[in-house]
């Protein structure tokens, strides 16, 4: 049934009239450019295409292992939890809730869905589309509420599993309230390393700009910390990144309102960073002008602050530097080849290992024997790590896993592996039908 529903819904989202409707609807509630909002619709449509026909059935593939004697065999099954909850954030009003909701349904669960109330109209409309495509109305409960009310519902309803996508602070509170029965795709202070091989300067600058400032930096995968190898210091990378950032404008929402930080709080953070010895403002650091964005939201120009590597790793500075600012802001630093172990140590100390990029086509730098015991990929843990010249931190499609690593509570999204991990548990059924041997007798007590 869900294969059929997915096929019909994928077809609907492929229609220009429907995809444009959802793209514009996303723009009404989440400050994104048209192309960024359309990206959500496109990824959602391709995801639904992936699970047409028998692909939902194949998610529940089981296995059998021969037993110890005739008539015995063990079967491993993917088993639904039953009553589950899904809580998703404001920054992806369509893609995240649809992918997680359908994953929960594919595996046989009964979900209650709560989307951030600022953007929940998008999913309300999508549920109506799914109903039209055959989704039984009783299969999904949809609630609009504030966080406090939802927290009370979770504690009283006691779902067997809750998927939470959002801030680390709320994630940790829920993990305690729900006694660990939770999967998390929480915040990420995501890093990018530019390796020693300098090439394709314009392309690298463009990807860095997209990773840091698309959607005004309001992605859990946004580039928060950029490590630049000393070989890049001879190039015009920073000036090109500055030019790209400065062409963003409010009129087309290539930069726009920040919904979780005020302008003053972001500029205060910039000023604190500039007190670190050797730090400097590379560009930005000013409020947007000529707008009517309410003061409860943030509105600043795309901003980058340089902080020396040796200062970043100092205990008193590290917490400040790695504070996630969910807006158009990043930290930039540089490093020498001999300082790679310091870079790796800084990465290991981070608490949210979501996305990362190692921009290099040098295989020795990526993972082999650059410094004998220090391999970039081998010594990092981020769950979605891009490696190579075209490496990025944002823009995950539906065809690869997206989620953190290094935490047993980590949740994935998009792929069959992610769906099975998050929305089902393993159950083993051992069939032991005999026969009992003809000459069997009751043995002595043991």
pLDDT in tens, 219-269: 999 999 999 999 998 899 999 999 999 999 999 999 999 999 999 999 999
The burial of 346, by beta-carbon neighbours within 10 Å (0-12 exposed, 13-18 middle, 19 or more buried), is given as buried
The string over 413-443, giving b where at least 16 C-beta atoms fall within 10 Å of a residue's C-beta and e elsewhere, is bbbbebbbbbbbeeeeeeeeeeeeeeeeeee
Contact 47, 126 (CB under 8 A): no
Distance between the two ends of the chain, CA-based, in angstroms?
A: 51
Res 372: pLDDT: 41
DSSP reduced 3-state for 106: helix
Instruction: Express each pLDDT in 390-410 by its tens digit.
Output: 999 999 999 999 999 999 999
Kindly report the CA angle at 418 between 415 and 424, in degrees rounded to 5?
125
Contacts of 302 (CB under 8 A, 6+ apart): 209, 212, 213, 217, 245, 246, 248, 255, 283, 284, 328, 329
Res 5: pLDDT: 98
DSSP reduced 3-state for 105: helix
Residue 64, pLDDT > 60, answer yes
Q: Which tokens belong to 364?
A: 């020795």
Q: Can you list the domains of the chain with their CATH numbers?
A: 2-59+81-187+404-423 (3.40.605.10), 190-387 (3.40.309.10)
Res 373: pLDDT: 42
Model confidence at 175, pLDDT cuts 50, 70, 90, reads very high
H or E element at residue 263: helix 263-274
CA proximity to 344, closest of 227, 222, 211: 227
Instruction: Express each pLDDT in 289-319 by its tens digit.
Output: 999 999 999 999 999 999 999 999 998 899 9
Residue 366, pLDDT > 80, answer no
Catalytic annotation, residues: 185, 220
Cis amide leading into 327 (omega within 30): no
Res 211: pLDDT: 98
Is the pTM higher than 0.75? yes
Say which DSSP state 230 is in: G
Kindly report the CA angle at 153 between 184 and 260, in degrees rounded to 5?
50
Residue 368, pLDDT > 60, answer no
Residue 13, pLDDT > 90, answer yes
Angle subtended by helix axes 416-423 and 95-106, to nearest 10: 70
User: Which stretches of 349-440 are assigned E, i.e. beta strand?
Assistant: 355-359, 384-387, 425-432
How far apart are alpha carbons 194 and 83 in whole angstroms? 45
Contact 1, 108 (CB under 8 A): no
The burial of 444, by beta-carbon neighbours within 10 Å (0-12 exposed, 13-18 middle, 19 or more buried), is given as exposed
Instruction: Express each pLDDT in 136-151 by its tens digit.
Output: 999 999 999 999 999 9
């Amino acid at each position: 049934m869900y294969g059929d529903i997915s096929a019909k819904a994928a077809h609907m989202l492929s229609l220009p009239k429907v995809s444009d409707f959802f793209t514009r609807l996303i723009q009404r509630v989440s400050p994104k450019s048209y192309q960024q909002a359309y990206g959500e619709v496109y990824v959602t449509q391709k995801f639904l295409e992936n699970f047409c026909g028998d692909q939902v059935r194949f998610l529940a593939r089981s296995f059998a292992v021969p037993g110890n004697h005739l008539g015995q065999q063990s079967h491993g099954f993917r088993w639904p939890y039953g009553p589950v909850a899904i809580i998703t954030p404001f920054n992806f009003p369509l893609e995240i809730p649809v992918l997680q909701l359908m994953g929960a349904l594919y595996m046989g669960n009964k979900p209650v869905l709560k989307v951030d109330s600022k953007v929940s109209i998008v999913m309300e409309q999508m549920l109506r589309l799914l109903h039209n495509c055959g989704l039984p109305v009783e299969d999904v409960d949809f609630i609009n509420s504030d966080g406090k009310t939802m927290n009370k519902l979770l504690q009283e309803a006691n779902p067997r599993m809750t998927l939470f996508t959002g801030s680390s602070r709320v994630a940790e509170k829920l993990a305690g309230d729900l006694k660990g029965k939770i999967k998390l795709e929480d915040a990420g202070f995501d890093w990018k390393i530019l390796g020693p091989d300098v090439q394709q300067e314009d392309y690298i600058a463009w990807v860095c700009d997209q990773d840091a400032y698309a959607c005004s930096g309001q992605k859990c995968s946004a580039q928060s910390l950029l490590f630049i190898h000393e070989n890049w210091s001879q190039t015009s990378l920073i000036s090109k990144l500055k030019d790209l950032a400065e062409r963003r404008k409010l009129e087309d929402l290539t930069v726009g309102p920040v919904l979780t930080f005020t302008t003053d709080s972001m500029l205060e953070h910039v000023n604190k960073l500039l007190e670190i010895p050797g730090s400097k403002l590379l560009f930005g650091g000013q409020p947007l002008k000529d707008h009517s964005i309410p003061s409860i939201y943030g509105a600043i120009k795309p901003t980058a602050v340089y902080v020396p590597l040796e200062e970043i790793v100092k205990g008193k500075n590290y917490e400040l530097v790695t504070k996630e600012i969910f807006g158009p802001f990043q930290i930039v630093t540089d490093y020498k080849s001999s300082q790679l172990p310091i870079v790796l140590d800084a990465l290991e100390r981070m608490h949210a290992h979501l996305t990362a990029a190692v921009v290099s086509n040098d295989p020795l730098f990526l993972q082999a024997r650059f410094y004998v015991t220090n391999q970039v990929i081998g010594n990092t843990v981020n769950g979605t790590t891009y490696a190579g010249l075209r490496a990025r931190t944002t823009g995950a499609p539906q065809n690869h896993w997206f989620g953190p690593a290094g935490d047993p509570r980590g949740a994935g999204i998009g792929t069959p592996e992610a769906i099975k991990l998050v929305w089902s548990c393993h159950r083993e059924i051992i069939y032991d039908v005999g026969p009992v041997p003809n000459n069997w007798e009751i043995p002595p007590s043991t």
